[in-house]
């Protein structure tokens, strides 16, 4: 067994079943008194009856010398706190996807009579392979006000690996231990999670437990735009109402929160004519097939943008991409071309399992996920490809296209900007950057990008169309 995390009241272990050989996460609680055991049993049995794609099933639980244990599936990934700490604040579109899933999961739990009570970034796990969010730690380890103080020596958050709650994300009625805590406390937690993903900070950050509790109880919720001005107004307003001190002033249910998050998704509009490519029906950006000779090829790109001319280099010895991984990637490409997208995703996943540093396979799986509208999973794969090959333009271009379809043109523009820096001679990147700038109202910037693409490929099939666009922008500027 391998210890993953430890807190004041328990530990989390990575374990293996002796007979089956399967991996599991083993949660241990050091509270072994009768009251703790009764609560532990009750909650374990309740969770064992739940079945939801964003929850971890309870396989077993029991009492052992020194404490209580619970066995659940082991999921390799990062919690939201670790992800933001390592990668920074995520794109707004990714945040929307994740919060939708988390809110819908909590609504399912509430309908089954279970309230989480400890929603915070450390308790939402993003699976590395699928990008799927899991809501974890449903208060199965005993928490009360006196124990809470143990973990709050350092505010605003508990120490890494701690399995205790934190007032920085608790509803006021829960932190003050007044009255019955119901599902609306989780709605508050959703608002705090949203604030964190939009800003990288907890909504309340006073140093010390009691000043922090005072802020939670008395201070009006902050506006995330004070820390990140580009946050959409609708999401800032959702933060405000969800963090209301009065439970009755919050969205009434987690489902209502999810619906308001969904409503912030703008419909994709491309007045500058640059197709987003990823989530538009029958459109594909780039999908790479790598054989033993390491030659790259691309499927046809959308008619609105030129095909990429960026070659895919052969793996270097340090990447250690095996022949089996390359074959799995090529099989995924063939399945993708045949329209068998789910099978393609499994083939790309096999390639990444055989060669975790195989950036090409991560990129391809992201494209396939985007085809199925799994935006959170696609962005997670593009992020992984970026980390593996930070000097590669295609992950930035594809993530930008995904974000652009969702209307997050600011984040898309930043990604396309990076793609043009890494591959300045690729016309496609300039056209997409121009489209993003145009959707942000930067007409001069859009025109400059289109003109750069035309300089690079003046005789391309799309060239005349973009010359007309440039002419129209000039006419608009002269009015």
DSSP secondary structure letters along 393-462: HHHHHHHHHHHHHTT-HHHHHHHHHHHHHH-TT-HHHHHHHHHHHHHTT-HHHHHHHHHHHHHH-TTSTT
Nearest to 124 by CA among 172, 168, 82, 72: 82
d(CA 84, CA 228): 15
The predicted structure's pLDDT at residue 473: 86
Whether the CB-CB separation of 304 and 265 falls below 8 Å is answered with no
The predicted structure's pLDDT at residue 179: 57
pLDDT less than 70: residues of the chain: 1-10, 17-21, 32, 66, 139-166, 177-179, 266-320, 479
d(CA 340, CA 378): 17
Whether the CB-CB separation of 125 and 30 falls below 8 Å is answered with no
Nearest to 52 by CA among 95, 110, 9, 117: 110
DSSP string, 310-372: ---PPPPGGG---HHHHHHHHHHHHHHHTT-HHHHHHHHHHHHHH-TT-HHHHHHHHHHHHHT
Could you count the other beta carbons within 10 Å of the beta carbon of residue 446? Answer: 25
d(CA 418, CA 412): 10
The strand pair at 67-73 and 23-29 is best described as antiparallel
Give residue-wise pLDDT tens across range 105-138.
999 989 888 888 889 999 999 988 778 899 988 7
Which tokens belong to 263? 């409503």
Whether the CB-CB separation of 168 and 418 falls below 8 Å is answered with no
Give residue-wise pLDDT tens across range 262-285.
888 754 333 333 333 333 222 233
The predicted structure's pLDDT at residue 431: 93
Which tokens belong to 377? 């999973």
The predicted structure's pLDDT at residue 3: 67
391 is catalytic: no
d(CA 479, CA 476): 5
The predicted structure's pLDDT at residue 174: 82
Nearest to 398 by CA among 421, 423, 381: 381
The predicted structure's pLDDT at residue 151: 30
**371: preceding bond cis by omega (within 30 degrees):** no
d(CA 64, CA 1): 16
Residue 196, helix vs strand vs coil: helix
Which tokens belong to 97? 């996807």
How distant, in Å, are the alpha carbons of 45, 48, 64, 73 from that of 61? 9, 10, 10, 13
23 beta partners: 16
Residue 30, helix vs strand vs coil: coil
Question: Which one from 79, 104, 118, 393 is the annotated catalytic residue?
Answer: 118
Which tokens belong to 334? 């063939």
Nearest to 337 by CA among 312, 371, 384: 371
Residue 79, helix vs strand vs coil: strand
The predicted structure's pLDDT at residue 237: 95
Whether the CB-CB separation of 215 and 206 falls below 8 Å is answered with yes
The predicted structure's pLDDT at residue 363: 93
The predicted structure's pLDDT at residue 408: 79
DSSP state of 58: P
**Can you list the domains of the chain with their CATH numbers?**
2-73 (3.30.200.20), 77-263 (1.10.510.10), 317-478 (1.25.40.10)
């Amino acid at each position: 067994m391998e210890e993953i995390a430890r807190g004041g009241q328990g530990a989390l272990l990575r374990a293996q079943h002796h007979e089956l050989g399967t991996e599991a996460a083993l949660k241990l609680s050091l509270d072994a008194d009768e009251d703790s055991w009764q609560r532990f049993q009750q909650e374990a049995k309740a969770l064992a009856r739940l079945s939801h794609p964003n929850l971890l099933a309870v396989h077993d639980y029991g009492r052992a010398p020194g404490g209580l244990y619970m066995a659940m599936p082991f999921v390799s990934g990062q919690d939201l706190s670790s992800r933001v700490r390592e990668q920074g604040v995520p794109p707004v579109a990714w945040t929307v996807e994740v919060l939708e899933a988390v809110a819908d999961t909590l609504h399912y739990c509430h309908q089954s009579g279970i309230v989480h009570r400890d929603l915070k970034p450390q308790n939402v796990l993003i699976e590395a392979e699928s990008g799927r969010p899991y809501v974890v730690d449903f208060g199965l380890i005993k928490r009360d006000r006196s124990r809470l103080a143990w973990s709050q020596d350092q505010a605003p958050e508990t120490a890494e690996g701690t399995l205790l709650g934190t007032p920085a994300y608790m509803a006021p009625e829960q932190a003050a231990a007044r009255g019955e805590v119901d599902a609306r406390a989780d709605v508050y937690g959703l608002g705090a999670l949203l604030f964190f993903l939009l800003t990288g900070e907890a909504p309340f950050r006073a140093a010390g437990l009691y000043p922090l509790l005072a802020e939670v109880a008395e201070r009006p919720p902050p506006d995330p735009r004070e820390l990140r001005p580009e946050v959409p107004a609708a999401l800032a307003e959702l933060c405000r109402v969800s963090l209301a001190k009065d439970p009755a002033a919050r969205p009434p249910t987690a489902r209502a929160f999810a619906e308001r998050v969904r409503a912030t998704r703008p419909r994709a509009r491309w007045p500058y004519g640059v197709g987003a490519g990823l989530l538009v029906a029958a459109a594909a950006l780039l999908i790479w097939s790598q054989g033993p000779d390491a030659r790259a090829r691309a499927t046809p790109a959308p008619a609105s943008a030129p095909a990429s001319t960026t070659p895919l280099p052969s793996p270097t010895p340090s990447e250690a991409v095996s022949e089996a991984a390359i074959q799995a990637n090529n099989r995924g490409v063939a399945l993708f071309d045949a329209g068998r997208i789910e099978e393609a995703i499994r083939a790309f996943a096999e390639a990444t399992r055989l060669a975790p540093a195989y950036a090409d396979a991560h990129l391809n799986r992201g494209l396939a996920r985007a085809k199925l509208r799994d935006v959170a999973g696609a962005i997670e794969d593009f992020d992984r490809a970026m980390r593996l090959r930070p000097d590669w333009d295609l992950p930035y271009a594809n993530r930008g296209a995904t974000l652009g379809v969702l209307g997050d043109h600011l984040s898309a523009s930043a990604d396309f900007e990076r793609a043009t820096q890494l591959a300045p001679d690729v016309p496609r990147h300039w056209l997409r950057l121009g489209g993003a700038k145009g959707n942000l109202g930067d007409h001069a910037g859009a025109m400059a990008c289109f003109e750069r693409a035309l300089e690079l490929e003046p005789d391309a099939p799309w060239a005349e169309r973009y010359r007309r666009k440039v002419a129209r922008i000039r006419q608009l500027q002269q009015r």
